[in-house]
Amino acid sequence: MTEYTPHLIPQAEGEKHEPNYLAVFGALALITLIEVTVVANLPIARVPLLVGLSAAKVLLVAMYYMHLKFQSGWFTALFLLPIPFVVLITLVLSIALAPAIPAAGSAAAFGVCSVF
């Protein structure tokens, strides 16, 4: 009389994918602590390290708190599609707004940022 419907059967306890939000929070706090330490103690040449740590935090938040890790691949791809454009726009703006390299003997560099 009743037909078999596997999608209505509850999952077994071992099959649930429940993230450990406390561990994710701890990882985010640790990465933030490393970022603050890097900014406070190291020279500006460590900017790529800070960008990488920030990207790791963005990925952790998107995967666990926005639940992208447990969604379909199409939904995740839709979320990740604009990221190359954001990186390109950021790169172009940072190059356009960076001060010019000073010539030998000049006292200061005048770029777009020196106008502001």
- Segment 79-108 shows an average pLDDT of 74
105 occurs within a structural domain: no
Structural domain for 95, as ranges: 72-99+110-116
Same domain, 77 and 34: no
Residue type, 103: A
9 occurs within a structural domain: no
Same domain, 64 and 85: no
Cα separation of 57 and 49, whole Å? 13
37 occurs within a structural domain: yes
13 occurs within a structural domain: no
Res. 7: pLDDT tops 80: no
2 occurs within a structural domain: no
Cα separation of 62 and 54, whole Å? 12
Predicted confidence (pLDDT) per residue in 90-103, tens digit: 888 888 887 766 55
Contact criterion met (CB below 8 Å) for 50 and 35: yes
For the chain, what is the domain count? Answer: 2
Same domain, 27 and 57: yes
Predicted confidence (pLDDT) per residue in 24-76, tens digit: 999 999 999 998 888 777 776 677 788 888 888 988 998 888 877 777 888 77
- Tokens representing 76? 């995740």
- Tokens representing 6? 């596997």
Cα separation of 20 and 44, whole Å? 35
| Residue 11 confidence class, pLDDT cut points 50, 70, 90 | low
Same domain, 23 and 64: yes
Residue type, 46: R
pTM > 0.85: no
Same domain, 83 and 59: no
84 occurs within a structural domain: yes
